[in-house]
Structure 1
Amino acid sequence: MEATQSLSDLFPTTTAGSAAASNPSELGQEDFLELMVAQMENQDPTKPMDNFEFLSQIAQFGTVDGIQSIEQSISQLSAAMYASQTLQAAGLVGSKVMTDSNLGTLAAGETLSASVDVPAANTGLTLYIQDMSGQLVHTRQLGVQASGELKVEWDGLDDSGDPVLPGQYRISAETEIDGEAQAVPVYAHTVVDSVTVDRSGGGVTLNLAGGDQVGISQVRSFL
């Protein structure tokens, strides 16, 4: 009696990217087990199947079948995450966020707000508003403030009390510590105009008023 060929010779293992369930011509798990039993029943008694070879074939099929199941699960999880991200991101449109930028956008008839990170040992804060050309349009003395986050608002009026044009303005602040002027971190509050969700897994990008774009991971606070 001729020795029976191994299953790996008769039916080469498909790659992980193929799906047996979607192609009737490919082996499924039940087909594999039936062929394995047939191979054992028809093997040459003088040359029985090696135990290691037998286990290797089972492991090989199980690995490929498992990888296909994992790929399908990952695909389903990815689709669910994309749908969830899209719904969450859509809810941010029209709201304000605080980022690391001190550049804010003043809309017509509205105020511009920001948060100042007040240090503990301050002797009084001074707030500055500059236009994009660097010209100082507004200065305000805030006095001594408790340490922590301080919200400030600007009504869009210059130091003469006249309204300035809508657009982007840079907000800065400073205090005096040990007799020296030191800059204080300022974080502008900006409206989210729209959002972009990357289907390839790149995350959510917020398109802010004024044209800036930030990743959702760059947002310090949702206001």
Structure 2
Amino acid sequence: MAGDINNVGQSGLSYIDQLKQLQDKNKPDEVTGKQALKQEDFLSLLTKQLSQQDPFKPVSNDQMIAQMASFATVDGIGKMNTQFDTLNSSMTSNQALQASSLVGRDVLVPGAAGSKKDDGEMSAMVKLPKNVDNVMVRIEDQMGQLIRTFDVGAQPAGDSRVTWDGKDQEGNPLPAGKYNVKASGILDGQSTEFDVSTYANVNSVLLGKGDGNVLLNLAGFESPVRLAEVLEVGKA
């Protein structure tokens, strides 16, 4: 029917077909990028559609109001997205400012690889799902070679801190550098490897690539770590 705003007008094209033509016309020539229709484009199309309607069967007020409400909704969503982008940028900047106070401090992050300082000791956190009677800790170098094992005894469920004195099995001090801390024990009658987190010093703070993430450059780590992954902040 001519009274339906989706029906064919004098141009021989339906409202949907004309909308598609207008959208294709507004597309940029480049392969990349996409230009969205604005509220003004919808209003211009609606005006053209109304001018081509059958004067004996005009569009009803209900249809007109519904169409205008749709346009307002589209425009409102566009403005809301812009506001969210602005809010996200502001929150990211605020997080980066707060994270800058971590520079020079030790943070606990998931992973077995940690950095041993010149003072000789290296600490880590072992996550135990249950009480374990006998937790064994293994220290490996960057090549994965075992250089030390020691027993920390019975440990309760939860996070248990373990400290390596920085010496090998013969008691010789080892140089500062990157080492792996691994922990295992008998759980429910089976030998089980437990999750380990290690400490590292924060060198600098980075902003993510537009994804809202704040990244930390850690001493001894090749790749930055997300601020959200930090489990604990230690001493400076």
Distance 1:62 1:179 in 2: 65
Aligned to 1:29: none
Aligned to 2:229: 218
Q: TM-score with structure 2 length normalisation?
A: 0.63
Code of the residue aligned with 2:216 in structure 1: it is L
Summarize the alignment of residues 1-223 of structure 1 with structure 2, pairs less than 5 Å apart: 50-51=59-60, 52=62, 54-55=64-65, 58-59=68-69, 62-63=72-73, 65-67=75-77, 69-118=79-128, 120-177=130-187, 181-213=191-223, 214-223=225-234
- Name the SS of the counterpart of 2:93 in structure 1: helix
- Name the SS of the counterpart of 1:184 in structure 2: strand
Code of the residue aligned with 2:122 in structure 1: it is L
Distance 2:189 2:75 in 1: 72
Larger Rg: 1
- Name the SS of the counterpart of 2:102 in structure 1: coil
Distance of aligned partners of 1:111 and 1:62 in 2 relative to their CA distance in 1, 3 Å threshold: same
Gaps of 5+ in 2: 1-21, 27-34, 41-46, 48-54
Code of the residue aligned with 1:203 in structure 2: it is N
Identity across the alignment (%): 31
Q: TM-score with structure 1 length normalisation?
A: 0.67
Q: Could you give the per-residue CA deviations for residues 99-141 of structure 1, whole angstroms, max 9, x where no partner exists?
A: 3311111122252110122454533222221111233222222
- Answer yes or no: is the 8 Å Cα contact 2:120–2:174 preserved in 1: no
Gaps of 5+ in 1: 1-11, 21-25, 27-35, 37-45
- Name the SS of the counterpart of 1:144 in structure 2: strand
Code of the residue aligned with 2:180 in structure 1: it is R
Distance of aligned partners of 1:49 and 1:219 in 2 relative to their CA distance in 1, 3 Å threshold: same
Q: Could you give the per-residue CA deviations for residues 16-43 of structure 1, whole angstroms, max 9, x where no partner exists?
A: 96999xxxxx8xxxxxxxxx9xxxxxxx
Alpha-carbon RMSD: 4.1
- Answer yes or no: is the 8 Å Cα contact 1:18–1:68 preserved in 2: no
Distance of aligned partners of 1:167 and 1:57 in 2 relative to their CA distance in 1, 3 Å threshold: same
